[in-house]
Structure 1
Amino acid sequence: MRKLVSAVLAATLLFTATACTGRSPGGAVDEDPYSESALRYGMAPVPHPDLTYQPDVVLVGGGGRSVRSVTADGLTWRIDGDAPRADDLAPGKVMFVTGRGVGRVLDLQREGGDLLVTIGPVNITDVIRDGTLEKQDIAIEDPVAYQAGEPIWAIPEEEADAALPTPSGRAGRSAPLRLAPLPPRPAQPAPIRGGGEVKSVVANFSTGVSLVSGAEVSFNYDRNGTKLFGRAALTFQQPKAGFYLSIKDGSVARAELSISGGFGIRYSFEAGIQDGQNIKAVLPIPVEFSIPMGTVLGVPLALTVSQTVKVTTAFGAKLGTIKGKGEFSLAGSLGYGYANGRFGPQVSKNFQRKESLINSLRGVPVGVMGLLIEHRVRFDLGFSAFVLKAGLFFEVSTAYGTTMGSAIGSPVAVCRGVGIGVWASYGVGYTILAPVVNVINKFLNLVKLSPINPSGKLGPAPYRIHSAEEVIPPGTKLCGTPQPSAD
């Protein structure tokens, strides 16, 4: 079996929650997390005597077997209209059909014998009122790769505008959303069992089966005279994870997350410009790697790993090249704890240089060449669809800033400068892809509802794991090294 890595977290969210006790009867039995329906749509929730759901949560029976299809953007679920408790769904309720199909109902339409349900984000405390979820010694292996298909924001603008909802009923918060029929959109691509490299999106996630064990992304930019390509990775070795999450009266009482196995960072890049323009771009990677964990107190959980790359160039001339690479050990373990209203990091730092970045810098800098690359790897444990995630999370953000001074201005020795910053962000919260937020907020604006944020978390400010800078020759001011930050 192919082992794949990840970090761990469990499920819970922000401070939004309602009161009252609501146990939902439901129709699901234990199932294989790698069955066909579970892989494609997620596992079904199972009522448990030690866990209480919020009163507006509707557990739709049948799990993945009740799901007909999901749009590529992950927002609209077509489910069997005759599934147990499907008749209880309504705008404002929380649909919980699987661990990948959970969210607040924004719109509901009937088409033949099916229901088309459009959902928005929820916190875990919007779903769970009382319960303690715990699991230790989780071996992370056998991942499933989920790729995004053509999302709603990729359709022609005039078609998207035509698909916007129109308010019906009274104006105000009670007015339901009514979507005009959307243009035909493909369903989400089938998941890929076994993870590994997904070449179409140039992302990789694996343990002990390739040159890179960990989460890696490669990037390639070639446009209008500016070229940039490289790789960035958070490496690790067969980690194990454990978590503890206690929710009382719809609030997080205690949370713990630990990930062991040893972590490192590695990257390489080449960049050049010839009559081109500087670039500043965030490159979300349209693939996620998910490790099904089965159910805990009947709640289906998964560990999901996603990545983002941000690139900024600061080329001071219209001609030049720069290249480099580096590798470092980072930490033996990552994690955090939350109790009595306070967070605390639990990171066993072990930062050591394995391959010097500054000594590897090469190029032909006609002018000053500056480059900043930020690689973010986020581990989410909880509910996870492609665009909506809610639960415990830990994100490692590594930024590399490199500068080479002009060879013309420094004929004896070209100055070189590097800066590196590694930050951790953690807590309990939700995320939703920014383009999806834009679409949903257009819906909400029409009926005068408050817009949603692309993320929300209960957590502290970013925690600095390591930061340093180095300039050669020492004391040279010609190299203004780009400074990584926690932003």
Structure 2
Amino acid sequence: MRRGSLPVRKLVSTVVTVTLLLATASCTGRSPEDRFGPVDEDPYSESALRYGMAPVPHPDLTYQPDVVLVGGGGRSVRSVTADGLTWRIDGVAPRADDLAPGKIMFVTGRGVGRVLDLQREQGDLLVTIGPVTVTDVIRDGTLEKQGIVIENPVAYQAGEPLWAAPEEAADALPTPSGKVGRGAPLGLAPLPPRPEQPAPIRGGGEVKSVVANFSTGVSLNSGASVSFNYDRNNTKLFGRAALTFDRPTADFHLTIKGGSVTRADLSISGGFGVRYSFEAGLDDGQNIRAVLPVPVEFSIPLGTVLGVPLALTISQTVTVTTAFGAKLGTIKGGGEFSLAGSLGYGYANGAFGPQISKNFQRKDSLINSLRGVPVGVMGLVVGHNVRFDVGFSAFVLKAGLFFELSTTYGTTMGSAMGSPVAVCRGVGLGVWASYGIGYTILEPVVNVINKFLSLVKISPIDSSGKLGSKPYRIHHAQEIIPPGTALCGDPLSFAN
């Protein structure tokens, strides 16, 4: 017993020592390396879905020298505003002290951008970022992935974004603080308070804004769609527009050398088509011309490629233009067309080329569906833009490869007054593709930010910057009954 007592005492002593050390560590707090150290990250984990995945250094990829990889990924993020532009970062996160206006913050795949403003608040950093291109971030590397299944997306909703009431937001902009230095606000007074970004939702989403009501969805068999409901000043417009597809997949390749793109390819397959319906009416109403950003985006996380967190994001915009020749009338209709088997483009040797397998067929005729009581000539044009981005993605700011399909359908009906035999009907459908490498940021957000930047004489930012070609026309056709009726004219002409 006595011979065994010494080892037992040593073991007890060791256990007590380790316990005390652990207790001391828990009291004093873990080091930043322990709190924010690298871990295997699930792209569908709670922090990754809300804030994005963290970038990880990789030997086969070189970042630009002014890029700051803030450690910890989503664990170092306290919150982000609904517009995705101001990030609250833990002030002791690794390399957070290297952030400064003009640098590029890369904390997650959703939190990457050029630092426009930096504030200190209660131990945290409030970082407002602006747009960057993918070559602003990456100097050398080849990113590619095949067979990306576009299904089960994550919906990111903006809640009440700052563009919901841009005039009020602009009026609330701060003036320069004049305070500079560590321990004090850095450079500018903070932007006005904005709501935080709601949690992402698996599947579809529905958002209400001050401009219109939207419900959008992306699913395996239906496609990217938006429903719109405009009811203002005695003008009512209801409708739905969709880019349909069936079991879509995507492939991409991006090679960057010395900060320049040398090769880029993006292809999306899935048997694409367009479907739409509308109903408009006015009773002593007014004509409208409105751009309706849809404050929901759908994202498929791709994990990391050479340590770079990427996502395939689908976003939409609706434009509505009316040309009602009287103060009273109604018009309704709908149609469906198959469009293409695949959509995409390639870039090599300084030249772009579309890669689109067209397969246009009419399924449901729009002109045969037109109905209404047009007291005067009634014209309506609805545009539906669906954009696919592969790269970095905050809510209103995206950078990487993109392909955007713009579908515009127009209708006209001649006045029923004075035309007892037949009312002329005209329909038009135009489909264009835009593609390239670059960034985009919603125009209303740009306007608000630039008013803020002008106060401190910082150069304004542009709403987009891209390497790309002119839009490629996939289809353009019109039909008028009776043929040659001048009153109905070109149903797409008054959209411009």
The TM-score with structure 2 as length reference comes to: 0.87
2:319 aligns with 310
Q: RMSD across aligned C-alpha pairs, in angstroms? A: 2.0
Q: Which of residues 192, 204, 228 in structure 2 aligns to 1:196?
A: 204
Paired AA for residue 259 in structure 1: I
Tell me, in whole angstroms, the C-alpha distance in 2 between the residues paired with 1:114 and 1:426: 39
1:263 aligns with 272
Q: Does 1:480 align with 2:480?
A: no
Q: CA deviation at 1:184?
A: 4.1
Please say if residues 281 and 330 of structure 2, whose CA atoms lie closer than 8 Å, have aligned partners that are also in contact.
yes
Please say if residues 331 and 347 of structure 1, whose CA atoms lie closer than 8 Å, have aligned partners that are also in contact.
yes
Tell me, in whole angstroms, the C-alpha distance in 1 between the residues paired with 2:170 and 2:494: 37
Larger Rg: 2
Structure 1 alignment gaps of length 5 or more? 1-25, 171-175
Q: CA deviation at 1:473?
A: 1.2
2:9 aligns with none
2:143 aligns with 133
1:166 aligns with 176
Please say if residues 162 and 180 of structure 1, whose CA atoms lie closer than 8 Å, have aligned partners that are also in contact.
no
Matches within 5 A, 1:118-129: 118-129=128-139
Q: Which of residues 200, 209, 219 in structure 2 aligns to 1:206?
A: 219
Please say if residues 395 and 425 of structure 1, whose CA atoms lie closer than 8 Å, have aligned partners that are also in contact.
yes
Of residues 431-440 and 344-353 in structure 1, the stretch that sits farther from structure 2 once superposed is 431-440
2:417 aligns with 408
Matches within 5 A, 1:362-441: 362-441=371-450
Tell me, in whole angstroms, the C-alpha distance in 2 between the residues paired with 1:124 and 1:156: 28
1:339 aligns with 348
1:16-62, Cα deviation, whole Å (9 max, x unpaired): xxxxxxxxxx9534310000000000000010000000000000000
Tell me, in whole angstroms, the C-alpha distance in 2 between the residues paired with 1:108 and 1:455: 23
2:115 aligns with 105
Matches within 5 A, 1:437-456: 437-456=446-465
Matches within 5 A, 1:25-424: 27-153=37-163, 161=171, 163-166=173-176, 168=178, 178-193=187-202, 195-198=203-206, 200=208, 201-208=214-221, 213-424=222-433
Tell me, in whole angstroms, the C-alpha distance in 2 between the residues paired with 1:165 and 1:248: 41
Which structure's residues are more often helix, by fraction?
2
* Secondary structure of the structure 2 residue equivalent to 1:108: strand
Paired AA for residue 117 in structure 2: D
Paired AA for residue 236 in structure 2: K
Paired AA for residue 319 in structure 2: K
1:312-369, Cα deviation, whole Å (9 max, x unpaired): 1111111111110100000000000000110000000000000000011111111111
Please say if residues 169 and 448 of structure 2, whose CA atoms lie closer than 8 Å, have aligned partners that are also in contact.
no
Tell me, in whole angstroms, the C-alpha distance in 2 between the residues paired with 1:123 and 1:27: 28
The alpha-carbon distance between structure 1 residues 156 and 333, as it changes in their structure 2 partners (threshold 3 A), is closer
Q: CA deviation at 1:435?
A: 2.0
The TM-score with structure 1 as length reference comes to: 0.89
Q: CA deviation at 1:447?
A: 3.0
1:384-412, Cα deviation, whole Å (9 max, x unpaired): 01011101000000001101111123211
Q: Which of residues 479, 482, 485 in structure 2 aligns to 1:470?
A: 479
Q: Which of residues 446, 465, 469 in structure 2 aligns to 1:460?
A: 469
Tell me, in whole angstroms, the C-alpha distance in 2 between the residues paired with 1:395 and 1:250: 24
The alpha-carbon distance between structure 1 residues 54 and 403, as it changes in their structure 2 partners (threshold 3 A), is same
Please say if residues 432 and 475 of structure 2, whose CA atoms lie closer than 8 Å, have aligned partners that are also in contact.
yes
Bigger relative CO (Cα 8 Å, ≥ 6 apart): 1
Structure 2 alignment gaps of length 5 or more? 1-35, 209-213
Q: How many pairs align?
A: 452
Tell me, in whole angstroms, the C-alpha distance in 2 between the residues paired with 1:284 and 1:315: 23
Please say if residues 121 and 430 of structure 1, whose CA atoms lie closer than 8 Å, have aligned partners that are also in contact.
yes
The alpha-carbon distance between structure 1 residues 323 and 155, as it changes in their structure 2 partners (threshold 3 A), is closer
Identity %: 82
